[in-house]
Amino acid sequence: MDVLKIIVYFFEVLFIAYFGFAALYVFIFALAGVFKTPKRARIMNRERKFAVLIPGYKEDNVIVEVAQKALRQEYPKDLFEVVVIADSFEESTLKSLRKLPLTVLEVSFDKSTKSKALNKAMRQLGDDYQVALVLDADNIMASDFVSKINDAFNKGFKVVQGHRMAKNTNTAFAILDAISEEVNNHIFRKGHRVMGLSSALIGSGMAFDYHFFKKTMSQVNAVGGFDKELELKLLKDRNTIEYLADAYVLDEKVQKTEVFSNQRKRWLSAQFVYFGRYATSGVKELFLRGNIDFADKVYQMVSPPRILLLGMVVLISLLYLVFDILSIASTLFVPSVVWYTLLVMTVLSFVLSIPHKFYNRATLRAVFTLPRAFGVMFLSLFKLRGANKKFIHTQHGTIKSN
């Protein structure tokens, strides 16, 4: 019996340390995100030349529309160049793209990755740019996006993340993905900036000092999650990442279970790989150099995704409720009230983070898909081996709602 009690205590401590701390963490930053981000004064007034880099792999369904809309910016035409980095496109797509006033760079690799495509494109483009703006092949910028990014550079920032939001909410999974994006925007971008820490990068809708980006990217050769490796390198060198909540770029949300599963598996694998790679340096940077930004980013690599966190806190709290009903909770190491408190905090974190526009009937219907999404995320944890060593392509193109 003593051995069994020790085992139970061990798992209690393990769960409270991992999920309990994660719940407290997201609550603090969700609460911070309610407040206004401190403003930085403009220190210069200039218009920079932008290279709008759009890498795509077999994105024939969406790339022509994206390229056309990327050209419609309220910014001097001679100061931004749209560059489509075409990997394995059909000849008809390439022909349509070449009719537009943009640059098409064809690339081909034995193993395609976004980092390889960007690095090869910048080697071919040369250095006649001040800002590199990276989009996904399905992203559509608001017409003032480039202008707002340029304004942030006038305030002294070298790395800027825009506000990526849903292009589509046509299925239950698309709605959940759209909400997940906004929750992460609120907690890991706005909330962090309010607290004086750097915003997280997303992988697209982000801009960098061109020469700085070219040099940094030359050291990145990630198969998946190149933005994770990039931001870890940036924060280790104490570069602040700004977040522009009012600079919008539309992003296609996943619409089917299998796409959701593949995407999340790729993301989880990348996070755990980079945590293993940077965990030791994260501790050293925190205690020897006081680099809280970098240590915080390393922790994010191992923190549970929000859907997984919500599901596990709910399940553990229900388990403790059963123990309370059976009058055996008093024999456990962690009081049940602790998990009830964490459950309230986790739910409040979502309530504070979800934009009001999602409080509607469509979202209510999508909520019933949450158990399936949780199940997909949970099962993905057991399928991560090798997921970061191969390119997993997310096919884009809106499907009809069910």
Span 300-345, pLDDT tens digits:
999 998 989 999 999 999 999 998 888 887 778 888 999 999 999 9
Q: What does pLDDT average to over the chain?
A: 90
Give exposure, 282-316, as e/b (b: 16+ Cβ within 10 Å).
beebbeeeebebbbbbbbbbebbbbbbbbbbbbeb
- CA 52 to chain CA mean position, Å: 19
State yes or no: pLDDT of 397 exceeds 80. no
Segment 50-102, tens digit of pLDDT: 999 999 999 999 999 999 999 999 999 999 999 999 999 999 999 999 999 99
- Residue 235's closest CA among 294, 178, 289? 294
State yes or no: pLDDT of 384 exceeds 70. no
User: How do 241-251 and 140-141 pair as beta strands?
Assistant: antiparallel
Beta-bridge partner residues of 52: 82, 133
- CA 122 to chain CA mean position, Å: 23
Report d(CA 33, CA 187) in Å as an integer. 6
CB 336 within 8 A of CB 328: no
Task: Choose the CATH number for 50-175+195-270 among 3.90.550.10, 1.10.1790.20, 3.30.450.40, 1.10.3720.10.
Answer: 3.90.550.10
The pLDDT of residue 222: 65
The pLDDT of residue 153: 97
For the chain, what are the domain ranges? 2-35+280-380, 50-175+195-270
Q: How confident is the model at residue 380 (pLDDT cuts 50, 70, 90)?
A: confident
State yes or no: pLDDT of 391 exceeds 90. no
Q: In what order do the strands lie in the sheet with 241-251?
A: 103-107, 80-87, 50-57, 131-134, 206-209, 159-166, 241-251, 140-141
Taking residue 368's Cβ as centre, other Cβ atoms within 10 Å add up to: 9
CB 160 within 8 A of CB 153: yes
3-class SS of residue 53: strand
Taking residue 350's Cβ as centre, other Cβ atoms within 10 Å add up to: 18
Report d(CA 12, CA 15) in Å as an integer. 5
Q: Give this prediction's pTM.
A: 0.91
User: How do 131-134 and 206-209 pair as beta strands?
Assistant: antiparallel
Report d(CA 72, CA 91) in Å as an integer. 25
Report d(CA 324, CA 317) in Å as an integer. 10
